[in-house]
Amino acid sequence: MNRKVFPVANSRQSARAQTSRARDTELGPREQLLAATSQLMTERATADVSFSDIAERSGLNSALIKYYFGNKSGLLMALVRSAIGESMAQIQTLLGMDVPAKEKLRLHIAGIINVYYRHPYLNRLIHHFMNEGGETYGPAVAEEIIKPLTQAQQVILREGVANGEFREVDPVLFYMNVVGACDHLFLGQYTLKYGFGVKKIDDEFRQRYAEHVYDLALNGIQA
């Protein structure tokens, strides 16, 4: 997790807790709870896990969840920040790279698909916070994830137009199309399973899909 990018409530207590309470592991209790939640959600392919399951898996008292995160929403939002923090920080590095805009677009698309692949519960949590469960953290998700992503893609598109690589394209339509394609690989896994008999997204499939989405996007905007 990149705390510079995502300052987290209670991060001081958490840092102290890591130092004083860590026992047979290098992770503090706060990070142990996050890791247990992440493992359970990945294994069960659902974002619906209980406090008692998290307590059992982490070997910690479930009261600590309230202590560190306030409530379930707080825990889920901390998980989103933990999963996405590093990738969001890399966006600025990507934008500053001395490569053609189309290479930035390729890395941008692969980056979105990779972060979803590594954290299979991530886009369900983001959808949760931007829809039904959005009262508390919806604005934070918008500010910390949606806005930086949309702005980054617009920078890449403008750069590509300026240096003659891309033709002009509506950035709103293009974003919804490309990010929707990335999203659907994970949110629409039932289609893979029932429509095409693909039971599991493995690393090779992930890479082929990222190249496919990039190819289609590039063909569509290449000057």
Retrieve residue 168's tokens: 């002009």
Give 80 or 181: the residue with its C-beta nearer to its own copies: 181
Q: Cβ of residue 103: shortest distance to its own copies, in angstroms?
A: 18
Give 31 or 144: the residue with its C-beta nearer to its own copies: 144
Q: Cβ of residue 12: shortest distance to its own copies, in angstroms?
A: 29
Q: Cβ of residue 161: shortest distance to its own copies, in angstroms?
A: 16
Give 119 or 124: the residue with its C-beta nearer to its own copies: 124
Q: Give the DSSP H/E element, type plus range, for residue 77.
A: helix 72-96
List all residues 6 or more positions away from 87 whose beta carbon is below 8 Å from its beta carbon: 111, 114, 115
Give 61 or 151: the residue with its C-beta nearer to its own copies: 151
Binding region for its own copies (CB under 8 A) = 46, 48, 124, 127, 130-132, 134, 138, 142, 146-147, 149-150, 170-185, 187-188, 190-192, 194-196, 198, 208-209, 212-213, 215-217, 219-220
Q: Cβ of residue 130: shortest distance to its own copies, in angstroms?
A: 4
Placement of tokens 């690393």 in the chain:
203
Identify any residues that bridge with 159 across adjacent strands, giving them in sequence order: none
DSSP assignment of 91-140: HHHHHH-SS-HHHHHHHHHHHHHHHHHHSTTHHHHHHHHHTTTHHHHHHH
CA distance 19 to 16: 5
Give 70 or 134: the residue with its C-beta nearer to its own copies: 134
Using CB atoms within 10 A of its CB, is residue 197 exposed (0-12), middle (13-18) or buried (19+)? exposed
Retrieve residue 124's tokens: 């369900």
Q: Cβ of residue 82: shortest distance to its own copies, in angstroms?
A: 21
